Chain A
Amino acid sequence: MLTTRGLDKSFGSLVVARDIAISLPQGVRYALIGPNGAGKTTLINLMTGMLRADGGQIVLGGEDITALGPEERVRRGLVRTFQINSLFPHLTPLEAVTLAICERERIARTWWKNTADYRAAVDEAYGVLKSLSLGAVCYRQTHELAYGQQRLLEIALALATKPKVLLLDEPAAGVPREESSELFTAINNLSQDITILFIEHDMELVFRLASRIIVMVGGSILLEGTPDEIAADPRVREVYLGGAHG
């Protein structure tokens, strides 16, 4: 579904992506792991076009999207969430998700009709919010929501664009452990048609939910494989799991 070839990126002398080649088949749940500063978020920025790669190629569903801007990539189904909440603080969740749907359906340029007249869009927005148990808070302003609810809204916004490939940057970052398990259950219940790549530091969650794992270190991909392969690999133990499994 999503393939990258030879992606490179440096900030000055710091190489944050070196020859990144990954391939995500449709419907697979991938985890992207690696120590802090490994370049995981940067890789998502490169794939979604928020950062321009210095070199390499990105292909989505057979189409070369390397030259496209982020909006165009989203329209083609490549969508991300943010490690640090990036929401619309003074919109309600209902408004925010409706906004995303209106943009997707290209009705966002209509200025002579009320948003409320687009009943299908509003229904869909409410449905997305309810599916992530945000139905009860969807009339409050986003900045008033509990942190965990805001993390869910991150995902709701992404879902409203009808993604084919969903890149989740530490969806449970900052969420207490009990809640993060719930959050990942919600992610796990998403449609199997959606290809998902998620970044997560909690190894238990990673091994429970990912069907394949990519390990990144120092801007390069160290290894890619099934959870069992990753757990058994001595290099991974050394650089990443060292303490925990050693």
Chain B
Amino acid sequence: MAAASPALADPHHYLATQIRWRRIEVVFWLSTLLPFVLTPDYLVLGSQIAVTALFALSLDLILGYAGIISLGHAAFFGFGAYTAGLIAKWGWGEPITGLAIAGAAAGLLGYLMSFVISRFRHLALIMITLGFGLLLLEAANSASWLTGGADGLQGVRMWPLLGAFKFDLWGVTAYWYALIVLFLLFLVARRITNSPFGLSLRGIRENAVRMRAIGAESRPHIRKIYTISAVMAGVAGAVLTQTTETVSLGVLDFQRSADILVILILGGAGRLYGGLVGAIIYLIARDQFSGINPQYWYFPIGVLLIIVVLFLPNGILGGLAQLIYSERGQRWFGWLTAPLRRERKS
């Protein structure tokens, strides 16, 4: 079928089309601006969603692309969060450099950890990452002189963003900030997944044995993506700290690692937007349900998760893609998934 169209017979054309921006992507990113106009009361939630989306994106890079499971990814999120908090507390409240330092710190931790991670797979990985996460949580808990322990880190004061925009109570600056950071790192992630390196990651996910048989060493690849993922998770944590001006032990909690996994699987792993869509649905649903009945908030989420896993094995986005890329779906929505035209851009 693919060969029917002569244009498709050219592999360069085919690959170039694959990585072109789609209209639906533009629609998606533009619509992230809507809350400024439509729901200005929810900008704080909006920035939480952006932070969570970035965190999910970082997990997607290792789980969705390289197939490396983690039940302790909050370790890097929390490490970034505390690093950002401590820098500000100790007198350097400039957000952007703070963000960079926190990302680098989390990345360093991820790099060290990656030497262990790259040696294991499957169940062993679940146990190791779980243990590592718990270890870090306990460490933060007992080092209360540094972290404030269960009381949380107090005295985090951020300077205005770029010296001009104060982090306000309504979350306007916070949402802008979180959104821009998310978008920039999304661009990085998108580039990675379209690169030869990204192709190798998918190879590792699909068949690690065959990777060896084509002469590919998986471990350096795994170490690299794990480090990148840790940086992103750390940046996500740092944005949370900077926009809320506080850090609690919750940033390192097992619950956070589990939630982000659920979010990614709900949304659809291995497709970049899965974590983003998952974060939007999950956090909005939590906001709504917990208003009605805070104690039982996990009940509807549990139901949703079971339904998704049973009926949409590739997550919500995977299910949507299947619909849209079906023949009838293309007739209706083809214009949305069509790549942007080249002529328009130049």
Residues of A within 8 A of B (CB): 48, 50, 69-71, 74-75, 79-80, 82, 86-91, 94-96, 98-100, 102-104, 107-116, 118-119, 121-123, 125-126, 135-140, 157-158, 160-161
Contact = CB atoms under 8 A, between A and B. Distances in A.
8 A-B pairs with the lowest CB-CB distances in the bound complex, closest first: A74-B215, A111-B197, A88-B206, A116-B15, A103-B216, A102-B196, A136-B3, A139-B2
Contact of A138 (B11, B210, B214): B11
Contacts of A126: 11
A70 B196 contact: no
A139 B203 CA distance: 16
A157 B15 contact: no
A119 B12 contact: yes
B214 A111 contact: no
B120 interface: no
A108 B200 contact: yes
Most chain-B CB neighbours within 10 Å: which of A82, A102, A121?
Answer: A102
A102 to B, nearest CB: 4
Contacts of A99: 196, 199-200, 202-203, 214, 216
Most chain-A CB neighbours within 10 Å: which of B195, B196, B220?
Answer: B196
Contact of B214 (A50, A94, A161): A161
Given A89-B206, A107-B196, A112-B195, A82 B2 contact: no
A120 B195 CA distance: 15
Contacts of A115: 15, 194-196, 198-199
B307 interface: no
A109 B221 contact: yes
Nearest to B20: A116
A157 B214 CA distance: 7
Nearest to B216: A103
B6 to A, nearest CB: 12
A104 B196 contact: no
A82 B213 contact: yes
Contacts of A90: 202, 206
Given A82-B213, A108-B200, A115-B196, 8 more contacts: A79-B214, A86-B210, A90-B206, A103-B214, A110-B195, A111-B196, A111-B198, A114-B195
B139 interface: no
Interface string B8-20: 1101101110110
Contacts of B228: 111
Most chain-B CB neighbours within 10 Å: which of A103, A104, A121?
Answer: A103
A180 B136 CA distance: 57
20 contacts: A70-B212, A71-B215, A71-B216, A75-B215, A86-B213, A95-B202, A98-B199, A109-B196, A109-B197, A111-B192, A111-B195, A114-B191, A115-B198, A116-B194, A122-B11, A122-B12, A123-B12, A139-B2, A160-B214, A161-B214
Interface of B: 2-3, 8-9, 11-12, 14-16, 18-19, 191-192, 194-200, 202-203, 206-207, 209-217, 220-221, 224, 228
A56 B61 CA distance: 42
A121 B215 CA distance: 16
B203 A110 contact: no
A140 B207 contact: no
A110 B209 CA distance: 22
Given A80-B213, A82-B213, A104-B215, A91 B206 contact: yes
Contact of A113 (B196, B202, B220, B224): B196
A139 B191 contact: no
Contacts of B211: 103
A74 B196 contact: no
Contacts of B14: 94, 139
Contacts of B197: 108-111
A77 to B, nearest CB: 9
A70 B206 CA distance: 18
A198 to B, nearest CB: 16
A98 B194 CA distance: 13
A161 B15 CA distance: 21
B203 A96 contact: yes
B196 A108 contact: yes
Most chain-B CB neighbours within 10 Å: which of A69, A100, A123, A125?
Answer: A100
A158 to B, nearest CB: 8
A90 B212 CA distance: 18
A137 B217 contact: no
B195 A113 contact: yes
A109 B224 contact: yes
Contacts of B221: 108-109
Nearest to B217: A71
Most chain-B CB neighbours within 10 Å: which of A69, A116, A123?
Answer: A116
Contacts of A79: 213-215
B210 A157 contact: yes
